[in-house]
Chains A and B, each alone.
Chain A
Amino acid sequence: MDINKEVRRILDEVLSLNGRSVAFTSDTPLLGAIPELDSMAVVTLITTLEEQLGLVVDDDDIDGATFATFGSLTDFVSGKLNS
């Protein structure tokens, strides 16, 4: 699975970004920088990652650092999938 591509697609879908996620690099800030990423969107994002990529997120994993940048989010997803 191309994790980078999958996370990009899911972000675009959940946040209705209309393709803006194509320009995301690992340094692109997410939480606090993208207005669409409110609390409901964070939960939807977690759920969609769980459902579509088959990973399990513990409640203690839900941490601001995870959603800080596109890179931190893809790192989190790879870590979960490889664990």
Chain B
Amino acid sequence: MPASPEAFFLPATTAAGGQRFCLYHPAQGASRRGSVLYIHPFAEEMNKARRMAALQSRTLAQAGFAVLQIDLHGCGDSSGDFGDATWHGWIEDVLQGCHWLRERHGKEGSQANVPLWLWGLRSGCLLAADAARQLGEPCNFLFWQPPAAGKPLLQQFLRLKVAGDLIGGQAKGVMQALRQQLADGAAVEIAGYLMAPGLASGLEQSILVPPTLMAQAQRVEWFELTTREDASLSPVSTQTMGQWQQAGFQASSHIVQGPAFWQTTEIEDAPALIAATTAAVSSD
């Protein structure tokens, strides 16, 4: 029987201010095996992925991990509008989430030195890597469908506007106009989300490069979902993961059968991903 998570507002200590909506799933069982911070993906993908994030968080809590889910600035139930959010501000939110987990860990009096995992989905993986560079302590990474870079994610997001206009009948030149608007320092409105230039540029420049190794045996568990039977890691993922291995990380890749739940039309489950993730994180 899973315990219910604690919902609360975390006052932001960052320049953006306001408060961040958080869900904390305390670790169940006698000893905590680790702390996990979930970093959600971008815009509509965050909403589509809510159910899977909640299911995985509960399962990890049952397996002895303390999990914090934080809604980043301007997202979900946190303060601010999406249009106020910047990439830099989101990194600060991630860092604050890490600090909160560490403090809470101390208060709960669990044994020291359990690993901190940064668990990202899609653009959340990029934020995890960017935040880890400023964290000042070693952490492990749990990547769900990590992009090698933010640039294609931005293009995909801008294409929503093109596709919307396509259905309305006129799509030519829309992309160029959007990019010009951002370059001029103006926000663009896409699929109901106002996107500030500071978010677009941060996302576009972010690449999934490893931070400096801070301890022995820092781990990366890399998951990709597929509906094909004979799937293997894509060439770009193989190359990116190789960079993490070269940097000294213990990286393992996992190809799991399941739908791309962060973008499917219906809200879908990928139970194989939850089982494989819990097994990977729990293994020593």
**What 0/1 pattern do residues 26 to 64 of A give for CB contact below 8 A with B?**
000001100010111111101110011000000110111
Residues of chain B with a CB closer than 8 A to A51's CB: 234
Residues of chain A with a CB closer than 8 A to B266's CB: 16
Residues of chain A with a CB closer than 8 A to B268's CB: 16
- Report if B4 contacts A (CB, 8 A): no
Closest CB of chain B to A10's CB: distance in Å?
9
- Report if A80 contacts B (CB, 8 A): no
Q: Which of B152, B163, B175, B227 contacts A39 (CB 8 A)?
A: B163
How far is it, in angstroms, between the C-alpha of A62 and the C-alpha of B175 when the chains are bound? 10
Are A48's CB and B260's CB within 8 A?
Answer: yes
Q: Which of A31, A39, A52, A63 contacts B160 (CB 8 A)?
A: A39
Q: Which of B44, B166, B169, B172 contacts A42 (CB 8 A)?
A: B166
- Report if A15 contacts B (CB, 8 A): yes
With an 8 Å Cβ cutoff, the count of chain A residues facing the other chain is 26
Q: Which of B169, B172, B234, B265 contacts A41 (CB 8 A)?
A: B265
**What 0/1 pattern do residues 248 to 284 of B give for CB contact below 8 A with A?**
0000000000011001111010000000000000000
Q: Which of A14, A36, A43 contacts B163 (CB 8 A)?
A: A43
Q: A40-B44, A52-B228, A59-B175 are in contact. Are A16 and B265 (CB under 8 A)?
A: yes
Size range of the interface on B? 20 to 34
Closest to B153 in A: A47
- Report if B162 contacts A (CB, 8 A): yes
Are B162's CB and A62's CB within 8 A?
Answer: yes
Closest CB of chain B to A80's CB: distance in Å?
16
- Report if B105 contacts A (CB, 8 A): no
Closest to A15 in B: B265
Q: Which residues of A contact B (CB under 8 A)?
A: 9, 13-16, 31-32, 36, 38-44, 46-48, 51-52, 59-60, 62-64, 67
Q: Which residues of B contact A (CB under 8 A)?
A: 44, 152, 156, 159-160, 162-164, 166-167, 169, 171-172, 175-176, 191, 227-228, 234, 259-260, 263-266, 268
Kindly list the 7 A-B residue pairs having the minimum CB-CB distance in the complex, ordered from nearest.
Answer: A42-B163, A39-B164, A39-B163, A16-B266, A59-B175, A16-B265, A44-B263
**29 interchain pairs, CB-CB under 8 A:** A13-B227, A13-B259, A13-B264, A14-B264, A14-B265, A15-B265, A16-B259, A16-B266, A16-B268, A38-B167, A39-B160, A39-B163, A39-B167, A40-B160, A40-B163, A40-B191, A44-B263, A44-B264, A46-B163, A48-B260, A52-B228, A59-B159, A59-B162, A62-B159, A62-B163, A63-B166, A64-B166, A64-B171, A67-B166
